[in-house]
Amino acid sequence: MPKLVPTLLSLCLLGGVLSARAGGLQVVWPAGWEVSEMPAPRSPFEDGVTGERQQAVKLQADGSQALVLELTRMPLAAGAAVNLENLLKEMRKGLQLGFARSGLLASCSKPQATTLGHIAAHEVRCTISQQGNPALKQTLLAARGSDTIYSLTYAMPVERENEVAGEVQALRDSLDFN
């Protein structure tokens, strides 16, 4: 299973996750993270508008991926109506279909209310299993600011979940979307 985890972490973050943007994605990532800009996502809300996306990977001492996060921002047209719960349901479906194509099962919770960067958000938590054995945990979050949709997704091997929970929550809480 160790060789499978980096591949699964990469797969987790490729499957149909909606993105977000505003006036410049600025995040202060903790030390020890490799951060890269990802291709700008196109807005599903407005033609010709693109967002921003960053991916951050925390590596273990042996160089394997311990945790992968992706943060996205997408501007909204004035007055755009977005139902975060429905948005997360669509994200969850995309994730489940993506894993199913790889022969994996993604079992996910229903959307739950939470916060992201101190604004109201909804989250879905998923367990990805291979041959009945849990291999990964992935969380999908979506939040709406006044003119922006924000998305955060993160994935980790099941055995690392408790170890990184505090760091992930601190990062979530530190996000400032003003």
Compute the distance between CA of residue 74 and CA of residue 42 in angstroms, rounded to an integer.
8
Name the residue with tokens 């990802």: 38
% of the chain residues with pLDDT over 70? 85
pLDDT band, residue 24 (cuts 50/70/90): low
pLDDT above 50 for 47: yes
Tell me the average pLDDT of the chain. 82
Domain count, the chain: 1
What CATH number is given to the structural domain containing 13? 3.40.1000.10
Q: CA torsion angle for 163, 164, 170, 172 (degrees, to 10)?
A: -140
Q: Return d(Cα 19, Cα 117) in angstroms, integer.
A: 16
Give the pTM: 0.81
The arithmetic mean of pLDDT across residues 18-23, rounded, is 34
pLDDT level of residue 175 (50, 70, 90 thresholds): confident
Q: Is 89 exposed, middle or buried (0-12, 13-18, 19+ CB in 10 A)?
A: middle
Q: What average pLDDT score do residues 124-139 get?
A: 96
Q: Which domain holds residue 116?
A: 4-174
Q: What is the pLDDT of residues 82-129, one digit of tens each?
A: 888 888 999 899 999 999 999 999 999 999 999 998 899 999 999 999
Phi, psi of 29 (to 5 degrees): -80, 145
